[in-house]
Chain A
């Protein structure tokens, strides 16, 4: 059967079981859109800006574990997608982004809407392809899905010139694809796993540090099993939240720049550290020299060899799929071996001492809304079971600190790239994936305006997202740094001329609420998540304390145990 390139794209996406394609049409992809018009295999979600298309596809992937798909046109469509692609790349999210390209004879001619997409995205994709021959199209798309979803996942760009979408060829979708140059490791080295378990059992002050890899690798179940069996403390990175239940007594909270006192102190003082699907990044361990100045044995399990011994030298590296490695550890543990109970008891009493600092306590108020209280109220209104997306800044940290995530894939945020503007499109992606779930977007008045146009998409598809805007009239995290490190010189961090968000929400056809008093927070939250507004997008503009800061905080370049606590100021 001979098909055009455009028809092949549709067939391939259907073969991959794609349910949603987030995109925006344009000249170079008109043939593909014409075929989208004729098909019913998947739903196309028309966004209002290509960046949001990629973010929404990214969130769909984060929430479901399936590969997210975005479709954009050449030139500006492609460049608008780049922030979304880089965001997904930094957080290892499986994405296939199809971009249109000018016809092959026009490539290099500075044609209208031409940009070297393969060149522009090279540093922020797992891999990319320019398909110059329609006969290679189906295999290339197959490879793209395979590469995006295997090994350490990541975004893959497939750039398709317009003439290729019109050319005809015999269509056959390969069942599987093999690349001699790409063979991601699956099984961890069994000798290393044995050695790791032995070290863990001999530990006096053990610690489990679990990152986003646990969530992405669907290894939360095995991690919980291992941790409970050992009885060791567990901390999650920002990306790992939900990978270990926050309500569990062994959970010591998030670690890092805004991690809990107990998590950071345990991390610094432990003698054997099991790092799982985490990468010791700068926001997690702060200054690596300070971190390594305390001796400890580090076991590091990760699917990506280049993540191991990158910032911190590791003693026992284990490269492999987290589920497989943790399953093998659990199996070995069942065969025998027990931790040192006395040492563990002493270690927990030390940790409980750190816990008693109650580092997340904040001064409550009945005159001004405290942002932390809004997040706690959100938790109560949703029984801790919502999909929570955030943008980037103070509100992101408060959401991470005060919304205890008990399940993986419920917390969607841009951890690596720190992209303001992801919150609303992330909520869209999650809501499309789970239409009946409660989806909350925790945002700031700076971030929300970076993709505010998506309120229109939300109206078109009647997405009942709840937007929790923590409005402090400042780019809060910037303001916090300026207060601490720039002697209160608030350069360009005060946001003047904010829109009336209630009217704005209404203009887009949604429900708007402005909440100014602490006493109104609970009622508003209940109303928004209540049956009356179940099918509506509710935009909640919480006017919060302007001077509130995120604590604890490790100043840039300092070590884990050098936190600033709220009580110290």
Chain B
């Protein structure tokens, strides 16, 4: 099963490689990983999307907690949470495509952030599955380039991950 794991770690050189190294060394699956400093610049927040049996996920959480630089770890799937990912898609915008792409962007509540003679660049935010749905819906031959950030996640309501 897919799990979204959030963690706070010391914002120090090499932190990312400790986490990435742990996943490769122990053979854990890693679907996406995003990282950036938090409002407190001494901390980094990381969101990892992984999958595995309950036993594997339990080990992943324990092993992450064992890293000396990791301050807190939370499996977002243990409670209600929100997941968002940002995608930029460059699509063909010639002839009939021009209207179709505009309406598809609207349907998915995307925004066209760059307009050129033959292309649009669409910005889309949502759960990873929504972004997948967009890519499946539009004509594949019209997709010129995609870039995705990987998921970020946060707990709902008073579920807060903070030091």
Contacts and interface: CB of A to CB of B under 8 A. Distances in A.
Question: Do A and B make up one complex?
Answer: yes
B62 interface: yes
Contacts, number: 38
B29 interface: no
Contact of A122 (B10, B17, B63, B71): B17
Contact of A181 (B14, B17, B55, B69): B69
B54 to A, nearest CB: 10
A44 B70 CA distance: 35
A351 to B, nearest CB: 32
B18 A122 contact: yes
Determine the main DSSP class of B at the interface with A. helix
Interface in A268-312: 304-306, 309-310
Q: Looking at B59, B62, B65, which has the most chain A CB atoms within 10 Å of its CB?
A: B62
Given A119-B17, A123-B25, A305 B55 contact: no
B68 A118 contact: no
B13 interface: yes
A147 interface: yes
A179 interface: yes
Interface string A422-466: 000000000000000000000000000000000000000000000
Interface residues of A, number: 18
A304 B13 CA distance: 26
B66 A304 contact: yes
A84 to B, nearest CB: 19
A123 B21 contact: yes
Contacts of A180: 71, 163
Interface in B1-59: 9-10, 13-14, 17-18, 21, 25, 55, 58-59
A180 B58 CA distance: 22
Contacts of A313: 55
Nearest to A128: B14
20 contacts: A118-B14, A122-B14, A122-B17, A123-B21, A180-B163, A181-B68, A181-B69, A181-B70, A182-B68, A304-B66, A305-B62, A305-B65, A305-B66, A306-B62, A306-B63, A306-B65, A306-B66, A309-B55, A309-B58, A313-B55
Given A122-B17, A130-B13, A181-B71, 12 more contacts: A118-B14, A122-B21, A123-B25, A126-B68, A127-B68, A127-B69, A130-B14, A180-B163, A181-B68, A181-B69, A306-B59, A309-B55
Interface of A: 118-119, 122-123, 126-127, 130, 147, 179-182, 304-306, 309-310, 313
